[in-house]
Amino acid sequence: MSETRLLLANIDEPDLHTLEVYERLGGYGKRLRRALLELSPEEVLQELEESDLRGRGGAGFAMGKKASFIPKGDMDKYLCCNADESEPGTFKDRLLMQKNPHLLIEGCIIGGIAAGANKGFIFIRGEYAAQADILDAALAEAYGRGYLGERILDSEHSFDLVVHRGQGAYICGEETALLDGLEGKRGNPRLKPPFPANQGLYQGPTLINNVETLCSAPAIVEKGADWFKSLGVEKSTGTKVVSVSGNVRRPGNYEVELGTPVREIIYDLAGGPPEGRQVKCFFPGGSSAPVLTQEHLDLPYTFEAMAEAGSMLGSGAIIVVDDSVQLVGLALRLSEFYRHESCGKCVPCREGTNWTVKMLERIDEGEATPMDLEIMAQVQENILGNCLCVLGDSMAMPVGSMIAHFREEFEQHIEQARAKRDLEDVSHRGAPELAAAGEAGPN
Protein backbone atom coordinates (compact mmCIF):
# COMPACT_ATOMS: atom_id res chain seq x y z
CA MET A 1 0.00 0.00 0.00
CA SER A 2 1.48 3.31 -1.00
CA GLU A 3 0.33 6.88 -0.94
CA THR A 4 -1.20 8.81 -3.81
CA ARG A 5 0.59 12.09 -3.60
CA LEU A 6 -1.01 15.10 -5.17
CA LEU A 7 -0.67 17.88 -2.63
CA LEU A 8 2.37 16.27 -1.09
CA ALA A 9 3.87 15.39 -4.47
CA ASN A 10 6.98 17.54 -4.13
CA ILE A 11 6.89 18.00 -0.39
CA ASP A 12 10.39 16.60 0.14
CA GLU A 13 11.91 18.84 -2.51
CA PRO A 14 14.49 21.10 -0.86
CA ASP A 15 13.50 24.80 -0.82
CA LEU A 16 10.02 24.12 -2.20
CA HIS A 17 8.90 27.13 -0.18
CA THR A 18 10.78 29.46 -2.51
CA LEU A 19 9.17 30.85 -5.62
CA GLU A 20 12.02 29.67 -7.81
CA VAL A 21 11.68 26.00 -6.92
CA TYR A 22 7.88 26.14 -6.91
CA GLU A 23 7.82 27.63 -10.40
CA ARG A 24 10.38 25.15 -11.67
CA LEU A 25 8.07 22.32 -10.56
CA GLY A 26 5.16 23.75 -12.53
CA GLY A 27 3.62 26.17 -10.05
CA TYR A 28 1.91 29.41 -11.12
CA GLY A 29 2.92 30.00 -14.77
CA LYS A 30 0.79 28.09 -17.21
CA ARG A 31 -1.99 26.96 -14.95
CA LEU A 32 -2.45 30.36 -13.33
CA ARG A 33 -2.55 31.87 -16.84
CA ARG A 34 -5.22 29.33 -17.71
CA ALA A 35 -7.29 30.33 -14.67
CA LEU A 36 -6.85 34.04 -15.30
CA LEU A 37 -6.74 34.42 -19.06
CA GLU A 38 -8.05 31.32 -20.83
CA LEU A 39 -11.01 30.54 -18.60
CA SER A 40 -13.70 32.97 -17.57
CA PRO A 41 -14.43 33.24 -13.82
CA GLU A 42 -17.64 31.32 -14.47
CA GLU A 43 -15.68 28.51 -16.07
CA VAL A 44 -13.27 28.36 -13.13
CA LEU A 45 -16.22 28.12 -10.78
CA GLN A 46 -17.84 25.49 -12.96
CA GLU A 47 -14.66 23.42 -13.00
CA LEU A 48 -14.52 23.51 -9.19
CA GLU A 49 -18.20 22.63 -8.90
CA GLU A 50 -17.91 19.70 -11.26
CA SER A 51 -14.87 18.33 -9.46
CA ASP A 52 -17.07 17.64 -6.39
CA LEU A 53 -14.17 18.81 -4.24
CA ARG A 54 -15.45 18.73 -0.67
CA GLY A 55 -14.19 20.93 2.15
CA ARG A 56 -11.22 19.42 3.94
CA GLY A 57 -11.63 21.41 7.15
CA GLY A 58 -14.32 19.44 8.90
CA ALA A 59 -17.81 19.97 7.53
CA GLY A 60 -17.12 18.44 4.12
CA PHE A 61 -19.30 20.90 2.23
CA ALA A 62 -18.75 21.04 -1.54
CA MET A 63 -16.35 23.88 -2.24
CA GLY A 64 -17.67 24.79 -5.67
CA LYS A 65 -21.22 24.90 -4.39
CA LYS A 66 -20.19 27.19 -1.54
CA ALA A 67 -18.45 29.51 -3.99
CA SER A 68 -21.53 29.53 -6.20
CA PHE A 69 -23.59 30.94 -3.30
CA ILE A 70 -21.58 34.16 -3.42
CA PRO A 71 -23.86 36.76 -4.99
CA LYS A 72 -22.83 38.44 -8.23
CA GLY A 73 -22.38 42.18 -8.31
CA ASP A 74 -19.93 44.91 -7.53
CA MET A 75 -19.91 44.81 -3.73
CA ASP A 76 -16.72 44.13 -1.77
CA LYS A 77 -16.31 40.37 -1.54
CA TYR A 78 -13.71 38.48 0.42
CA LEU A 79 -11.92 35.19 0.46
CA CYS A 80 -10.85 33.79 3.83
CA CYS A 81 -8.51 30.89 4.13
CA ASN A 82 -9.09 29.03 7.36
CA ALA A 83 -5.58 28.16 8.55
CA ASP A 84 -6.56 28.12 12.21
CA GLU A 85 -5.86 24.41 12.33
CA SER A 86 -6.58 23.58 15.97
CA GLU A 87 -8.58 20.39 15.87
CA PRO A 88 -6.70 17.97 18.10
CA GLY A 89 -4.98 15.39 15.96
CA THR A 90 -4.79 17.55 12.84
CA PHE A 91 -1.49 18.77 11.44
CA LYS A 92 -1.84 18.56 7.67
CA ASP A 93 -2.22 22.30 7.03
CA ARG A 94 0.91 22.96 9.07
CA LEU A 95 2.90 20.75 6.72
CA LEU A 96 1.37 22.26 3.59
CA MET A 97 2.01 25.84 4.72
CA GLN A 98 5.49 25.19 5.97
CA LYS A 99 6.70 23.29 2.95
CA ASN A 100 4.53 24.55 0.13
CA PRO A 101 3.22 28.06 0.89
CA HIS A 102 3.01 29.06 -2.76
CA LEU A 103 0.53 26.27 -3.48
CA LEU A 104 -1.79 27.83 -0.90
CA ILE A 105 -1.28 31.30 -2.36
CA GLU A 106 -2.10 29.99 -5.83
CA GLY A 107 -5.15 28.25 -4.41
CA CYS A 108 -6.25 31.52 -2.79
CA ILE A 109 -5.91 33.38 -6.10
CA ILE A 110 -8.06 30.75 -7.84
CA GLY A 111 -10.57 30.77 -4.98
CA GLY A 112 -10.68 34.55 -5.32
CA ILE A 113 -11.44 34.25 -9.03
CA ALA A 114 -14.26 31.78 -8.38
CA ALA A 115 -15.79 33.95 -5.66
CA GLY A 116 -15.19 37.24 -7.47
CA ALA A 117 -13.19 38.47 -4.48
CA ASN A 118 -10.35 40.95 -4.74
CA LYS A 119 -9.18 40.72 -1.18
CA GLY A 120 -8.20 37.62 0.73
CA PHE A 121 -7.05 36.80 4.22
CA ILE A 122 -5.23 33.78 5.53
CA PHE A 123 -6.26 33.41 9.17
CA ILE A 124 -3.42 31.40 10.66
CA ARG A 125 -3.32 30.36 14.29
CA GLY A 126 -0.84 32.34 16.36
CA GLU A 127 0.95 29.20 17.50
CA TYR A 128 2.10 28.60 13.92
CA ALA A 129 4.60 31.46 14.17
CA ALA A 130 7.20 29.87 11.91
CA GLN A 131 4.63 28.93 9.28
CA ALA A 132 3.18 32.45 9.31
CA ASP A 133 6.66 33.88 8.70
CA ILE A 134 7.14 31.47 5.80
CA LEU A 135 3.80 32.54 4.34
CA ASP A 136 4.70 36.21 4.72
CA ALA A 137 7.98 35.66 2.89
CA ALA A 138 6.18 33.74 0.14
CA LEU A 139 3.59 36.51 -0.20
CA ALA A 140 6.34 39.08 -0.67
CA GLU A 141 7.87 36.93 -3.41
CA ALA A 142 4.51 36.49 -5.13
CA TYR A 143 3.84 40.24 -5.02
CA GLY A 144 7.30 40.86 -6.42
CA ARG A 145 6.64 38.60 -9.40
CA GLY A 146 3.19 40.07 -10.06
CA TYR A 147 1.16 37.01 -9.03
CA LEU A 148 -0.60 39.15 -6.45
CA GLY A 149 -1.70 42.76 -6.56
CA GLU A 150 -3.21 44.83 -9.35
CA ARG A 151 -4.14 43.13 -12.64
CA ILE A 152 -2.36 39.82 -12.13
CA LEU A 153 -0.49 38.72 -15.28
CA ASP A 154 -2.19 41.57 -17.19
CA SER A 155 -5.61 40.04 -16.62
CA GLU A 156 -8.71 41.83 -15.34
CA HIS A 157 -8.34 40.21 -11.96
CA SER A 158 -6.69 41.95 -9.00
CA PHE A 159 -6.12 40.17 -5.76
CA ASP A 160 -4.58 41.20 -2.45
CA LEU A 161 -3.71 38.69 0.22
CA VAL A 162 -2.94 39.30 3.90
CA VAL A 163 -1.69 36.87 6.54
CA HIS A 164 -3.64 37.41 9.75
CA ARG A 165 -2.20 35.83 12.87
CA GLY A 166 -4.59 34.61 15.54
CA GLN A 167 -3.69 34.69 19.22
CA GLY A 168 -4.69 31.25 20.36
CA ALA A 169 -8.35 30.23 20.31
CA TYR A 170 -9.70 26.91 19.02
CA ILE A 171 -13.08 28.49 18.41
CA CYS A 172 -11.62 30.72 15.68
CA GLY A 173 -11.56 27.64 13.47
CA GLU A 174 -15.36 27.91 13.38
CA GLU A 175 -16.04 30.01 10.30
CA THR A 176 -18.09 32.80 11.85
CA ALA A 177 -15.87 33.03 14.92
CA LEU A 178 -12.96 33.26 12.50
CA LEU A 179 -14.63 36.27 10.93
CA ASP A 180 -14.98 37.90 14.34
CA GLY A 181 -11.33 37.21 15.08
CA LEU A 182 -10.46 38.76 11.75
CA GLU A 183 -12.56 41.82 12.51
CA GLY A 184 -10.67 42.26 15.75
CA LYS A 185 -13.19 40.94 18.21
CA ARG A 186 -13.47 38.07 20.65
CA GLY A 187 -13.98 34.94 18.59
CA ASN A 188 -17.67 34.30 19.17
CA PRO A 189 -19.68 32.36 16.61
CA ARG A 190 -22.51 34.23 14.92
CA LEU A 191 -26.10 33.25 14.38
CA LYS A 192 -26.65 31.66 10.98
CA PRO A 193 -28.31 32.64 8.68
CA PRO A 194 -27.13 34.94 7.25
CA PHE A 195 -24.38 32.64 6.06
CA PRO A 196 -20.94 34.09 5.37
CA ALA A 197 -21.51 33.62 1.63
CA ASN A 198 -24.11 36.38 1.91
CA GLN A 199 -22.91 38.40 4.87
CA GLY A 200 -19.49 37.55 6.18
CA LEU A 201 -16.40 39.61 6.73
CA TYR A 202 -17.23 43.32 7.12
CA GLN A 203 -20.79 42.36 6.14
CA GLY A 204 -19.62 41.46 2.64
CA PRO A 205 -20.09 38.13 0.85
CA THR A 206 -17.25 35.87 1.96
CA LEU A 207 -15.96 32.52 0.81
CA ILE A 208 -14.25 30.60 3.62
CA ASN A 209 -12.18 27.53 2.81
CA ASN A 210 -9.69 25.34 4.54
CA VAL A 211 -6.00 25.33 3.55
CA GLU A 212 -6.10 21.85 2.05
CA THR A 213 -9.26 22.61 0.07
CA LEU A 214 -7.69 25.67 -1.53
CA CYS A 215 -4.47 23.76 -2.16
CA SER A 216 -6.46 21.25 -4.23
CA ALA A 217 -7.84 23.95 -6.53
CA PRO A 218 -4.78 24.64 -8.76
CA ALA A 219 -4.55 21.04 -9.94
CA ILE A 220 -8.28 20.99 -10.73
CA VAL A 221 -7.91 24.08 -12.91
CA GLU A 222 -4.86 22.62 -14.59
CA LYS A 223 -6.05 19.09 -15.25
CA GLY A 224 -9.81 19.45 -15.15
CA ALA A 225 -12.67 18.24 -13.02
CA ASP A 226 -12.87 14.86 -14.74
CA TRP A 227 -9.29 14.05 -13.90
CA PHE A 228 -9.89 15.00 -10.26
CA LYS A 229 -13.01 12.85 -10.13
CA SER A 230 -11.03 9.88 -11.40
CA LEU A 231 -9.33 9.93 -8.00
CA GLY A 232 -11.25 8.79 -4.98
CA VAL A 233 -14.78 7.44 -5.10
CA GLU A 234 -18.16 8.65 -6.23
CA LYS A 235 -19.06 11.32 -3.69
CA SER A 236 -15.68 11.64 -2.02
CA THR A 237 -13.44 12.70 -4.86
CA GLY A 238 -9.73 13.36 -4.91
CA THR A 239 -7.03 12.69 -2.41
CA LYS A 240 -6.90 13.50 1.28
CA VAL A 241 -3.92 14.26 3.46
CA VAL A 242 -4.61 12.15 6.53
CA SER A 243 -2.90 13.05 9.80
CA VAL A 244 -2.40 9.86 11.77
CA SER A 245 -1.44 10.22 15.44
CA GLY A 246 -1.79 8.62 18.84
CA ASN A 247 -0.83 5.02 19.49
CA VAL A 248 0.76 4.15 16.15
CA ARG A 249 4.37 3.42 15.32
CA ARG A 250 4.76 6.02 12.61
CA PRO A 251 2.57 9.07 13.25
CA GLY A 252 2.58 11.45 10.33
CA ASN A 253 0.79 12.89 7.32
CA TYR A 254 -0.14 10.40 4.61
CA GLU A 255 -1.91 11.35 1.41
CA VAL A 256 -4.30 8.73 0.09
CA GLU A 257 -7.17 8.54 -2.35
CA LEU A 258 -10.48 8.87 -0.56
CA GLY A 259 -11.99 5.41 -0.30
CA THR A 260 -8.82 3.72 0.93
CA PRO A 261 -9.69 1.27 3.72
CA VAL A 262 -9.01 2.70 7.18
CA ARG A 263 -7.05 -0.42 8.09
CA GLU A 264 -4.51 0.27 5.35
CA ILE A 265 -4.00 3.83 6.57
CA ILE A 266 -3.55 2.83 10.20
CA TYR A 267 -1.57 -0.37 9.69
CA ASP A 268 0.27 -0.15 6.37
CA LEU A 269 1.12 3.52 6.39
CA ALA A 270 1.26 4.47 10.04
CA GLY A 271 2.58 1.10 11.21
CA GLY A 272 -0.32 0.15 13.45
CA PRO A 273 -0.28 0.12 17.24
CA PRO A 274 2.92 -0.81 19.08
CA GLU A 275 3.90 -4.44 19.43
CA GLY A 276 1.49 -6.53 21.43
CA ARG A 277 -1.26 -3.92 21.41
CA GLN A 278 -4.58 -3.80 19.62
CA VAL A 279 -6.58 -0.91 18.24
CA LYS A 280 -9.21 -0.26 20.86
CA CYS A 281 -10.88 2.61 19.07
CA PHE A 282 -10.03 5.52 16.81
CA PHE A 283 -11.23 9.03 16.07
CA PRO A 284 -11.66 9.07 12.28
CA GLY A 285 -11.77 12.84 11.89
CA GLY A 286 -10.12 14.70 14.72
CA SER A 287 -11.10 14.63 18.36
CA SER A 288 -14.58 15.97 17.57
CA ALA A 289 -15.54 12.85 15.66
CA PRO A 290 -17.29 10.05 17.56
CA VAL A 291 -14.96 7.11 18.06
CA LEU A 292 -15.19 3.99 15.93
CA THR A 293 -13.96 0.54 16.90
CA GLN A 294 -12.14 -2.46 15.44
CA GLU A 295 -15.19 -3.56 13.49
CA HIS A 296 -15.01 -0.33 11.48
CA LEU A 297 -11.39 -0.78 10.41
CA ASP A 298 -12.31 -2.18 7.01
CA LEU A 299 -14.58 0.66 6.03
CA PRO A 300 -13.42 2.84 3.15
CA TYR A 301 -12.20 6.21 4.33
CA THR A 302 -14.89 8.39 2.76
CA PHE A 303 -17.23 11.11 3.99
CA GLU A 304 -20.24 8.79 3.50
CA ALA A 305 -18.86 5.63 5.07
CA MET A 306 -17.73 7.48 8.19
CA ALA A 307 -21.11 9.19 8.48
CA GLU A 308 -22.96 5.90 8.04
CA ALA A 309 -20.89 4.34 10.79
CA GLY A 310 -22.05 7.14 13.10
CA SER A 311 -18.99 9.30 12.95
CA MET A 312 -17.45 11.71 10.47
CA LEU A 313 -14.41 12.22 8.31
CA GLY A 314 -14.04 15.70 9.76
CA SER A 315 -10.63 17.22 9.25
CA GLY A 316 -9.19 13.87 8.16
CA ALA A 317 -7.19 13.23 11.30
CA ILE A 318 -7.10 9.68 12.60
CA ILE A 319 -6.21 9.41 16.28
CA VAL A 320 -5.57 5.79 17.21
CA VAL A 321 -6.23 4.62 20.76
CA ASP A 322 -4.82 1.24 21.75
CA ASP A 323 -5.98 -1.21 24.39
CA SER A 324 -3.58 0.06 27.04
CA VAL A 325 -5.48 3.34 27.34
CA GLN A 326 -8.05 4.02 30.04
CA LEU A 327 -11.02 5.63 28.38
CA VAL A 328 -12.20 7.62 31.40
CA GLY A 329 -8.91 9.48 31.47
CA LEU A 330 -9.09 10.07 27.73
CA ALA A 331 -12.68 11.29 27.89
CA LEU A 332 -11.70 13.61 30.73
CA ARG A 333 -8.78 15.07 28.79
CA LEU A 334 -11.06 15.52 25.81
CA SER A 335 -13.77 17.34 27.74
CA GLU A 336 -11.24 19.51 29.54
CA PHE A 337 -10.13 20.69 26.12
CA TYR A 338 -13.64 21.66 25.07
CA ARG A 339 -14.36 23.27 28.43
CA HIS A 340 -11.27 25.41 28.04
CA GLU A 341 -12.06 26.33 24.46
CA SER A 342 -15.79 27.00 24.80
CA CYS A 343 -16.21 30.71 24.07
CA GLY A 344 -19.00 30.98 26.62
CA LYS A 345 -21.60 32.52 24.36
CA CYS A 346 -24.16 29.69 24.52
CA VAL A 347 -25.19 28.27 27.88
CA PRO A 348 -25.55 24.58 26.90
CA CYS A 349 -21.96 24.45 25.69
CA ARG A 350 -20.42 26.57 28.43
CA GLU A 351 -22.20 24.71 31.23
CA GLY A 352 -22.39 21.32 29.54
CA THR A 353 -18.67 21.03 28.95
CA ASN A 354 -18.00 22.06 32.55
CA TRP A 355 -20.50 19.55 33.93
CA THR A 356 -19.09 16.77 31.82
CA VAL A 357 -15.61 17.45 33.17
CA LYS A 358 -16.89 17.48 36.74
CA MET A 359 -18.79 14.23 36.28
CA LEU A 360 -15.83 12.46 34.74
CA GLU A 361 -13.70 13.69 37.63
CA ARG A 362 -16.27 12.23 40.01
CA ILE A 363 -15.99 8.91 38.24
CA ASP A 364 -12.23 9.00 38.50
CA GLU A 365 -12.29 9.96 42.16
CA GLY A 366 -14.67 7.17 43.07
CA GLU A 367 -17.62 9.36 43.92
CA ALA A 368 -19.87 8.36 41.06
CA THR A 369 -22.61 5.78 40.83
CA PRO A 370 -23.72 3.99 37.64
CA MET A 371 -26.59 6.47 37.51
CA ASP A 372 -24.05 9.19 36.71
CA LEU A 373 -23.61 7.71 33.26
CA GLU A 374 -27.31 8.34 32.60
CA ILE A 375 -27.04 11.89 33.86
CA MET A 376 -23.97 12.43 31.75
CA ALA A 377 -25.80 11.15 28.67
CA GLN A 378 -28.57 13.60 29.47
CA VAL A 379 -26.11 16.48 29.69
CA GLN A 380 -24.75 15.54 26.26
CA GLU A 381 -28.27 15.39 24.86
CA ASN A 382 -28.96 18.89 26.10
CA ILE A 383 -25.91 20.25 24.33
CA LEU A 384 -26.49 18.62 20.93
CA GLY A 385 -27.97 21.02 18.43
CA ASN A 386 -28.71 23.68 21.00
CA CYS A 387 -25.88 26.09 20.34
CA LEU A 388 -24.84 28.57 17.68
CA CYS A 389 -21.89 26.42 16.64
CA VAL A 390 -20.87 22.80 17.00
CA LEU A 391 -18.14 23.15 19.63
CA GLY A 392 -20.36 21.71 22.35
CA ASP A 393 -21.54 18.96 20.02
CA SER A 394 -17.91 18.21 19.31
CA MET A 395 -17.49 17.17 22.91
CA ALA A 396 -20.90 15.59 23.36
CA MET A 397 -20.54 13.27 20.37
CA PRO A 398 -17.16 11.64 21.06
CA VAL A 399 -17.77 11.36 24.80
CA GLY A 400 -21.21 9.92 24.11
CA SER A 401 -19.75 7.46 21.61
CA MET A 402 -17.11 6.30 24.08
CA ILE A 403 -19.77 5.54 26.66
CA ALA A 404 -21.95 3.85 24.04
CA HIS A 405 -19.17 1.59 22.75
CA PHE A 406 -17.42 0.92 26.05
CA ARG A 407 -20.12 1.24 28.68
CA GLU A 408 -18.80 -1.76 30.58
CA GLU A 409 -15.42 -0.15 30.99
CA PHE A 410 -16.95 3.03 32.36
CA GLU A 411 -19.08 1.04 34.81
CA GLN A 412 -16.07 -0.95 35.88
CA HIS A 413 -14.07 2.21 36.38
CA ILE A 414 -16.83 3.61 38.57
CA GLU A 415 -16.84 0.47 40.73
CA GLN A 416 -13.07 0.18 40.98
CA ALA A 417 -12.60 3.85 41.84
CA ARG A 418 -15.31 3.58 44.49
CA ALA A 419 -13.69 0.53 46.01
CA LYS A 420 -10.34 2.28 46.03
CA ARG A 421 -11.78 5.36 47.67
CA ASP A 422 -13.56 3.29 50.31
CA LEU A 423 -10.29 1.60 51.11
CA GLU A 424 -8.50 4.94 51.43
CA ASP A 425 -11.31 6.24 53.60
CA VAL A 426 -10.83 3.39 56.00
CA SER A 427 -7.11 3.90 56.26
CA HIS A 428 -7.54 7.66 56.64
CA ARG A 429 -10.11 7.27 59.34
CA GLY A 430 -8.01 4.61 60.90
CA ALA A 431 -4.82 6.63 60.97
CA PRO A 432 -5.54 9.08 63.85
CA GLU A 433 -7.08 6.32 65.91
CA LEU A 434 -4.06 4.13 65.43
CA ALA A 435 -1.78 7.04 66.24
CA ALA A 436 -3.76 7.79 69.36
CA ALA A 437 -3.57 4.15 70.29
CA GLY A 438 0.17 4.28 69.75
CA GLU A 439 0.59 7.26 72.05
CA ALA A 440 -1.50 5.72 74.71
CA GLY A 441 0.35 2.45 74.29
CA PRO A 442 2.09 0.48 76.98
CA ASN A 443 3.93 2.94 79.11
Q: How far is the CB of 173 from another protein (least distance, A)?
A: 11
Our finding on whether 150 is near another protein (CB under 8 A) is: no
Mark the segment that binds another protein (CB under 8 A) among 38-46, 123-131, 382-390, 432-440: 123-131
**Cα dist from 360 to 102, 294, 355, 410, whole Å:** 45, 25, 9, 10
Quick check: 146 and 105 in contact, CB under 8 A?
no
Our finding on whether 90 is near another protein (CB under 8 A) is: yes
Mark the segment that binds another protein (CB under 8 A) among 218-226, 276-284, 363-371, 413-421: 276-284
Alpha carbon 388 to chain centroid, angstroms: 18
Quick check: 390 and 378 in contact, CB under 8 A?
no
Cα distance between residue 307 and residue 330, in whole Å: 23
Cα distance between residue 250 and residue 21, in whole Å: 29
Quick check: 14 and 239 in contact, CB under 8 A?
no
User: In sequence order, what are the beta bridge partners of 241?
Assistant: 255
Query: In terms of CB distance, is 168 or 194 closer to another protein?
Result: 168
Who contacts 372 (Cβ-Cβ below 8 Å, separation ≥6)? 359, 362, 363, 414
Query: In terms of CB distance, is 73 or 184 closer to another protein?
Result: 184
Query: In terms of CB distance, is 31 or 350 closer to another protein?
Result: 350
Annotate 13-44 with b (16+ C-beta within 10 A) or e (fewer): eeebbebebbeeeebbeebbebbbeebebeeb
Q: How far is the CB of 281 from another protein (least distance, A)?
A: 11
The interface mask with another protein, positions 330-369, x = CB under 8 A, is x--xx--x--xx-x--------------------------
Q: Would you say how long the chain is, in residues? A: 443
Mark the segment that binds another protein (CB under 8 A) among 20-28, 58-66, 323-331, 363-371: 323-331
Q: How far is the CB of 132 from another protein (least distance, A)?
A: 9
Given candidates 27, 107, 218, 246, which one binds another protein under the rule CB under 8 A?
Answer: 246
Query: In terms of CB distance, is 185 or 429 closer to another protein?
Result: 185
Residues that bind another protein (CB under 8 A): 12-14, 76, 85-91, 93-94, 98, 119, 125-130, 162, 164-170, 181-187, 202, 243, 245-253, 271, 274-277, 283, 287, 317, 319, 321, 324-325, 329-330, 333-334, 337, 340-341, 343
